[in-house]
Structure formats: structure tokens, C-alpha cells
């Protein structure tokens, strides 16, 4: 069992050594969460949820019915389900999915992800390209990595721009869905 304190929320998690950051809150995830703001009208996707820290924390803030968690790993899904019950947000939707492949929903106002960035860019490419299509107009995607150049260029090519916040050695990318026309007109301006 692991206890994580985020703002005024004390959360408890079962973890597994095979999952990302089993010993505590990853500093990159903490940096991303510090840049996220949510309201109780948001529709949130925790993309690549691991054992559920991001989605469960946000569900505690805005209500479990507003939050979906997904991950490709069946161990992550099992633990996210357990952890949602432990943290009293069992109404969250938890889906085993390879990226967006098993997710039919659209209209998300916020998608958050800490993708695997020590390998090639195929996962992040899928997340960014498909994430744009799943966002509502005005919706935002937040992604955290330690690399800047490729992610900046990819977000600009898909979203037309991106805000980058450097925090504790990580880059938090915040991209807002405007429209394809807006993205084409502003490409490269940010």
C-alpha cells in the first residue's frame, strides 16, 4: 500500500513492481497535475493510467462519473479498479485499451498523459493524433515528458500550437483543440 498526498487529498494505492513508478508519485506526473485545472463540468480521460493516480485524484475533485481511466496493461486495470474503490470513486470508468483503440467516447474536455518517452515516439504519436479527435472544441491535452523538441513539433503539427511549461526537469505540454482550420492557419506560431 502506498499513500500519496495531493493538495488536500490523501489517497491510498495498491501498486505493482511491473508498473510505472510503483514506489510513489512520479515527479513528472506531479508536474503535470500542478498545471491541470478542472471543473465539475469537465469530461476527463487519464490516458495510460497505470494504477490510477491521476484519474482517481481528479475523480475525487470533480466526481467519478466525469472521469475515464485507460491502460493497455491488465495489471494496471485491475489495480486501478481496486484503487478506485479504496479511494471511494468506484463510479469512474476503467477501460483496458491500447491507446484509443477500445475507447469510443469523444467530447473530452481534458486528456492527461505521461506516456513512455524512453522508447520510440509511436505511443505518443498515437496519443496526440487520436487525442485531438477525441477532444471537444476548447478541450485540452496535457502531456509530460523529459524531451522537448519532437513533442513540441508534433503538438504544433496536430493542434496548431502548444504551451510548454518547464517544471522540475520535465516539460508539460498543454494543447487546446480549436479547429482544424485554426490549426492549419496558426501552425508553427507558438
Q: Estimate the share of the chain in helix, then strand, then coil, as percent rounded to the nearest 5.
A: 35, 25, 40
Q: What is the pTM of this model?
A: 0.92
Whether the per-residue pLDDT at 145 is higher than 90: the answer is yes
Domain 2-186: give its CATH architecture.
3-Layer(aba) Sandwich (3.40)
Whether the per-residue pLDDT at 23 is higher than 50: the answer is yes
**What does the pLDDT read at residue 179?**
73
Task: For the chain, report the end-to-end CA distance as a whole number of angstroms.
Answer: 43
The 3-state DSSP class for residue 163 equals strand
**What does the pLDDT read at residue 150?**
95
**What does the pLDDT read at residue 106?**
95
Cell of 131: 487525442
CB atoms within 10 A of CB 190: 14
pLDDT band at 38, cuts 50/70/90?
A: very high
Tell me the pLDDT of the chain averaged across its residues: 92
**Among 190, 44, 38, 26, residue whose Cα is nearest residue 114:** 26
Q: Which single residue is written with the C-alpha cell 480549436?
A: 178
Whether the per-residue pLDDT at 148 is higher than 90: the answer is yes
Whether the per-residue pLDDT at 131 is higher than 50: the answer is yes
Mean pLDDT, range 91-101, rounded to an integer: 96
**Rounded-to-integer distance, Cα 168 and Cα 30, Å:** 10
- Comparing 39 with 184, which gets the higher pLDDT? 39
pLDDT band at 48, cuts 50/70/90?
A: very high
The full 3-state SS of 67-132, as one line of letters, equals EEEEECCHHHHHHHHHHHHHCCCCCCEEEECCCCCCCCCCCEEEEEECCCCCCCCHHHHHHHHHHH
**What does the pLDDT read at residue 22?**
75
Residues listed for the chain: 190
Could you read off the pLDDT of 52-73 as tens digits, one per residue?
A: 999 999 999 999 999 999 999 9
Whether the per-residue pLDDT at 26 is higher than 50: the answer is yes
Amino acid at each position: 500500500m502506498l499513500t500519496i498526498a495531493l493538495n488536500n487529498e490523501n489517497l491510498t494505492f495498491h501498486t505493482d513492481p511491473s508498473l510505472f513508478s510503483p514506489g510513489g508519485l512520479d515527479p513528472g506526473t506531479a508536474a503535470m497535475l500542478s498545471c491541470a485545472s478542472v471543473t465539475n463540468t469537465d469530461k476527463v480521460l487519464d490516458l495510460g493510467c497505470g494504477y490510477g493516480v491521476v484519474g482517481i485524484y481528479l475523480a475525487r475533485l470533480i466526481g467519478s462519473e466525469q472521469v475515464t481511466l485507460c491502460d493497455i496493461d491488465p495489471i494496471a486495470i485491475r489495480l486501478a479498479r481496486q484503487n478506485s474503490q479504496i479511494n471511494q470513486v468506484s463510479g469512474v470508468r476503467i477501460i483496458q485499451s491500447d491507446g484509443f483503440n477500445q475507447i469510443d467516447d469523444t467530447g473530452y474536455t481534458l486528456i492527461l498523459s505521461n506516456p513512455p518517452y524512453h522508447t520510440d515516439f509511436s505511443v505518443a504519436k498515437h496519443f496526440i493524433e487520436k487525442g485531438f479527435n477525441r477532444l471537444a472544441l476548447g478541450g485540452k491535452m496535457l502531456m509530460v515528458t523529459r524531451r522537448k523538441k519532437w513533442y513540441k513539433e508534433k503538438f504544433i503539427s496536430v493542434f496548431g500550437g502548444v504551451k510548454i511549461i518547464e517544471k522540475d526537469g520535465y516539460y508539460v505540454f498543454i494543447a487546446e483543440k480549436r479547429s482544424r482550420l485554426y490549426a492549419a492557419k496558426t501552425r508553427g506560431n507558438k
